[in-house]
């Protein structure tokens, strides 16, 4: 398949997606019906048990919005025949404007327009940030170099320390957030009083913390084994998370094994891989600029 053909297919898909989104936004009540259908599916998944999508309905909806908007920067990149790495910021800004327009349209149909606008806009911006990271990683993948010997030695040391922390946290006899739970609840309540979206509750903070906690996993894999091992970081994060939840289910009765934790941890490993690709790609460019003969 030629580049022109792929570009045409992507552009056609974008037009169809834009038409579908415009239909959902402009037809009164259709957005709420789509949300209800999504939550019906989520309810069916929750019936599976094992901590599957125990997240609140509002946060699940926010995740869905983020996943949809994450596609925007990638589609904009693929729709251009001359997509350039230096266009990542421009595509991110265009995607952010689209999110603001969509949030304004959705808010106009709501009984609480201010809250709905903040909710959709925040979830959309998170999605744009993730999509822009994927866009940057896509352009950096071919020029991403292996880390230098010194960098890899440091990475091995940090990875060993990180692995120790993961084991200690995963095998602790009680949840590690038990001591800060009351403080965290009060902080979340204060955030809501200041205008934070309603879906930004304790479940959202806990899910995000698990994502952040596993991001170094994917990052260290990229530093140690290079950009071609991206799949090792992603698959390894999934397997490590499954192992942790299995240990908690079998040997730690005070801990709660959850499919949601596997999803969050794996997502964190994926984000770490994307960050690692971008970092290694930037390192290659910096090295080439500093030592043009060596790069040649």
Give tens-digit pLDDT for 236-292: 999 999 999 999 888 888 888 889 999 999 999 999 999 999 988 887 776 666 655
Residue entry with tokens 């001359």? 82
What are 16-65's pLDDT values in tens digits?
Answer: 777 777 776 667 777 778 888 988 888 888 888 777 788 899 999 999 99
Model confidence at 105: pLDDT above 90? no
What pTM was computed for the model? Answer: 0.86
CB-based contact 210:222 (threshold 8 Å)? no
What is the DSSP-derived secondary structure letter of residue 59?
A: H
CB-based contact 280:226 (threshold 8 Å)? yes
- Residue-level length of the chain: 296
Model confidence at 82: pLDDT above 60? no
> Distance between CA 141 and CA 95 in Å, rounded?
22
What are 149-205's pLDDT values in tens digits?
Answer: 778 888 899 999 999 999 999 888 777 777 788 899 999 999 999 989 999 999 999
């Amino acid at each position: 398949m030629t580049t022109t053909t792929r570009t045409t297919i992507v552009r056609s898909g974008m037009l169809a997606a834009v038409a579908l989104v415009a239909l959902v936004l402009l037809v009164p009540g259709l957005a709420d019906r789509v949300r209800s259908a999504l939550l019906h599916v989520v309810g069916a998944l929750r019936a599976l048990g094992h901590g599957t999508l125990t997240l609140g309905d509002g946060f699940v909806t926010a995740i869905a919005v983020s996943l949809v908007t994450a596609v925007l920067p990638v589609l904009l990149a693929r729709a251009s025949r001359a997509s350039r790495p230096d266009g990542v910021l421009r595509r991110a800004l265009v995607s952010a404007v689209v999110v603001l327009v969509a949030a304004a349209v959705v808010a106009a149909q709501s009984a609480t327009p201010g809250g709905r606008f903040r909710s959709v806009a925040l979830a959309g911006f998170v999605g744009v940030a993730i999509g822009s990271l994927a866009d940057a990683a896509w352009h950096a993948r071919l020029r991403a170099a292996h880390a230098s010997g010194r960098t890899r030695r440091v990475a091995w040391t940090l990875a060993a320390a990180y692995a120790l922390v993961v084991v200690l946290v995963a095998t602790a006899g009680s949840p590690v957030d038990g001591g800060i739970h009351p403080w965290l609840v009060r902080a979340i309540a204060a955030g809501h009083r200041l205008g934070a979206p309603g879906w930004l509750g304790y479940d959202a903070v806990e899910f995000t913390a698990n994502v952040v906690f596993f991001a170094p996993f994917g990052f260290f894999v990229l530093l140690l084994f290079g950009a071609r091992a991206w799949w090792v970081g992603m698959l390894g994060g999934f397997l490590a998370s499954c192992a942790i939840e299995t240990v908690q289910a079998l040997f730690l009765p005070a801990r709660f094994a959850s499919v949601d934790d596997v999803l969050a941890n794996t997502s964190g490993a994926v984000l770490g891989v994307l960050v690692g690709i971008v970092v290694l790609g930037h390192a290659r460019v910096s090295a080439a600029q500093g030592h043009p003969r060596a790069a040649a």
